[in-house]
Structure 1
Amino acid sequence: MNKKNVMMERMSWPEFAAEAKRNPVVFLPCGSTEQHGPHLPLAVDALLPTALCRDVAEKVGGIVAPTLSFGYKSMPKSGGGPYFPGTLNLDATTLIATVHDVIRELVRHGISKICAVVGHYENQWIVTEGIDLAMRECGATGLRVMRLEYWDFCTEETFSQVFPDGFPGIALEHAAVIETSLMMHYYPDMVRLDLIPDHAPADFPPYDMFPPHRDWVPSSGALTSAKGASAAKGKIMAEQVGKDIAAAIVKEFGS
């Protein structure tokens, strides 16, 4: 038996209209197009929140809106920066306006419960500003919005399984074990196992420079080793994170 389609982009307008009448939670994946080392595709930050949103939407009867596939500017200390070919950056005002406009349009179609799922580290506060502006415009309609970063849902127990030698911190995890493992779980055909980098973590000073120092970032684009990644670790994270995000959705929006 086929699972019910939860992806808005694959629905016809009558199908979406019928679904909207149920007052479902609509998930908005907020990603980017950014280098993720030689072993992962440019779309990692869009692909992963989309897959997680689909999983959670299937659990809670939600809908997944089309993914925002361009994000705020990649920074050297968290995403490698702008020097890698294929990284396409938006100005903050562009992303703020996009998030605001998409939420406003969903509200226009009768949606009142939205969950913005951030998959790109640099997007966090930019997406928040877009949500805040949408709330100012549409709050009187009863609109409620949740914003989350999926990696924040990883528990200490999960991290102990994924990082038996200790968790290096989320900023250094760009193109490393978390993202590589999740990609191996969700999109194994997109991971080049033969090109997974293995090098020491980047060592950044406690400040930023503009223009950025290109030589701060390892030449691979990964900020630490991804050699410990595996599909099994990706499955552990996907299942635990998906379950706990679904629980948060039910807590805040009801079943």
Structure 2
Amino acid sequence: MIMEEMTMVDFAAGLQLTRTVIIPLGSTEQHGNHLPLATDTLQAIDIARVVAQRRPLFVAPPVHYGVCRSTAQHPGTIGISTAALKLLITDLVSSLYAQGLRYVVLLSGHAGTTHMATLVDAGEELLGHFDDIQIAVIKEYDLALAAGHSLLETPGDSHAGEIETSRLLHSHPDLVRGTSPAEYPSFPMGILVRDKQKYWPGGVWGDPSKARAAKGELLQQRMADKLCEVIAELERMET
């Protein structure tokens, strides 16, 4: 059930079927020369919609902004602070709770370490505030690695590489503009740098040339399988 497409009557009827909601989280962030700034958000929406076709649950409107630290200086990246993200998530989940939702999946297509830590921090705070809520914080990248161990050819593939390019070639081929050179960032260990683009000029982490639409289709289905398993486990937990 896609919330932004529902009426209030539809929503009330949906609550008779489920108390579970997925919030797709992404970013507006550079993804090399060939993928759109909305890549992370599109991927989270895509998986959430596939899962919603398999089991009764709500899909909340997506969050298009996240904490983008290592890509902050690349053209097109628009990030928010950890404080803003935490407040946004706590407010959104609190509002969904007030509407009757009790099982919340924060599904992030953006995999930044600081971003994910902020989601976990918000989730922990919400668990302490509401006694009858269950929360999962899921990084899509983890689902992709679990789903693609027999498909992927690129060691250490991550941002705008084989995985993400394959997925968008499958789901949004009109938004993929060719490819970008294989690349890996070279940030110095433990040292915070001001000129981040100097250490990651092309914004790719992996090899987009290995991407294929068929891989993206298989990844999407396997990732949805895994997410369904996580949601089933979440719903078995007592609220």
Task: Say yes or no: TM over 0.5.
Answer: yes
SS of 1:41's partner is coil
**1:190–1:97 distance in 2 versus 1, CA, 3 Å:** same
Q: Paired residue for 2:155?
A: 167
Q: What is the number of residues matched between the two proteins? A: 234
Q: Which residue of 1 aligns with 2:224?
A: 242
Cα pair 1:159 1:167 within 8 Å, conserved: no
User: Helix, strand or coil: the match of 1:197?
Assistant: coil
Report what 1:189 is aligned to. 174
Q: Structure 2: how far apart are the matches of 1:12 and 1:106?
A: 15
Q: CA deviation at 1:204?
A: 3.2
CA deviation digits over 1:170-207, x for unaligned, max 9? xxx111111111111111111112xx112343333222
Q: Is contact 1:182–1:235 with CA below 8 Å preserved after alignment?
A: yes
Counterpart CA distance in 1 for 2:37 and 2:145 is 27
Q: 1:156 to 1:167 in 2, by over 3 A?
A: farther
Which deviates more, 28-37 or 208-217? 208-217
Change (3 A) 1:249 1:212: same
CA deviation string 1:64-118 (max 9, x = no partner): 001111001231xxxxx21122211111000000000100000000111111111
Query: Is the 8 Å Cα contact of residues 30 and 118 (structure 1) preserved in structure 2?
Result: yes
Counterpart for residue 12 of structure 2? 17
Residues 191-224 of structure 1 show CA distances to partners (whole Å, capped at 9, x for unaligned) of 112xx11234333322232424431012x32233
Match of 1:100 in 2: 90
Q: CA RMSD in A?
A: 1.7
CA distance in 2, matches of 1:143, 1:157: 28
1:91 to 77, 81, 87: 81
Q: CA–CA distance in 1 between the matches of 2:189 and 2:174? A: 37
Q: 1:184 to 1:143 in 2, by over 3 A?
A: same
Identity score, percent = 26
Deviation at 1:233, TM superposition (A): 0.9
Q: Which region of structure 1 is more displaced relative to structure 2, 197-206 or 14-23?
A: 197-206
Contact 1:98 1:130 in 2 (8 A): no
> Offset at 1:157?
7.1
Question: Structure 1 residues 220-229 or 110-119, which shifts more?
Answer: 220-229
Moved more, 33-42 or 220-229: 220-229
Extract structure 1 runs of 4+ deviating beyond 3 A: 154-157
C-alpha separation in 1, matches of 2:118 and 2:105: 15
Once the two structures are superposed, what CA deviation does each residue of 1:3-24 show, in whole Å capped at 9, x if it has no partner? xxx2111111221122123233
TM-score, structure 1 as length reference:
0.86
1:31 aligns with 2:26: yes
Mapping 1:56-71, distance limit 5 Å: 56-71=51-66
Aligned 8 A contact 2:35 2:160 in 1: yes
Q: Distance in 1 between matches of 2:54 and 2:3?
A: 16
Alpha-carbon distance in structure 2 between the residues aligned to 1:84 and 1:202: 13
- Mark the runs of 5 or more structure 1 residues left unpaired by the alignment: 1-5, 76-80
Is 1:116 paired with 2:98? no
Aligned position for 2:120: 128
Task: Judge conservation of contact 2:73–2:196 (CA < 8 Å) in 1.
Answer: no
* Code of the aligned partner of 1:133: E
Give the TM-score of the pair, scaled to structure 2.
0.91
